[in-house]
Chains A and B, each alone.
Chain A
């Protein structure tokens, strides 16, 4: 199957941590990605993780991968109002020519 699922909404207070979750179904996924989309704009790559890793940290972003449960999460530390956007999880399949399969996106709302 090619399903990538995310919860639709998340609301946090400025300064708190945000955790956005994603589940995927294809165990042959090689890389998993997090993209950010601001209103009316294209998708901006935030970070990605190779499937043989279980954690990757990049400044305020921490990605956790549980390959056994096919679960990916993105933690944003010290969330700011500028982080308000839609966040997409995506997987790349080993045998599908590099195309990415996206989830439906999680809308993050950061309240001051």
Chain B
């Protein structure tokens, strides 16, 4: 069964350091999403890509977060500098656009702890 791959699964860093997360969506899925899930809450969208273009980054803290999907396939989410409040699970998801129900398939997530 096709999966969304994410790495690393766990990352511990000190505040003010830079961190990066990688996501490889299901082959053929043109739409890619990065969600942030703070402990005890539901996921919140950070950024959505359609191929290599950003469709929605309205909730991305652009002073410290950046995301790219240069060739329209895999994607990287970067945080620089990390802050204590960035501790969360970062979830990547992908979907086929125009597929009616637009079912999102999620990866296992990258859990970030900022000390």
A binds B: yes
Q: How many residues of A contact B (CB 8 A)?
A: 24
What's the least CB distance linking A83 to chain B, in Å?
Answer: 19
Question: A98–B99 Cα gap in the complex (Å)?
Answer: 10
Cβ-based interface call for B33 (8 A): yes
Stretch from B12-20, B35-43, B61-69, B70-78 at the A interface = B35-43
Is there an interface contact between B42 and A50, defined as CB atoms closer than 8 Å?
no
**Which residues of B84-115 are within 8 A (CB) of A?**
91, 93, 95, 97, 101-109, 111
Is there an interface contact between A44 and B106, defined as CB atoms closer than 8 Å?
yes
Cβ-based interface call for B45 (8 A): yes
Is there an interface contact between B56 and A42, defined as CB atoms closer than 8 Å?
no
Is there an interface contact between A88 and B31, defined as CB atoms closer than 8 Å?
no
Is there an interface contact between B101 and A99, defined as CB atoms closer than 8 Å?
no
Of B43, B55, B103, B107, the residue contacting A102 (CB under 8 A) is B43
Taking CB atoms, residues of chain B closer than 8 Å to A105 are 40-42
List chain A positions with a Cβ less than 8 A from chain B: 4, 31, 33, 35, 40-45, 48, 50, 88, 90, 92, 96-100, 102-105
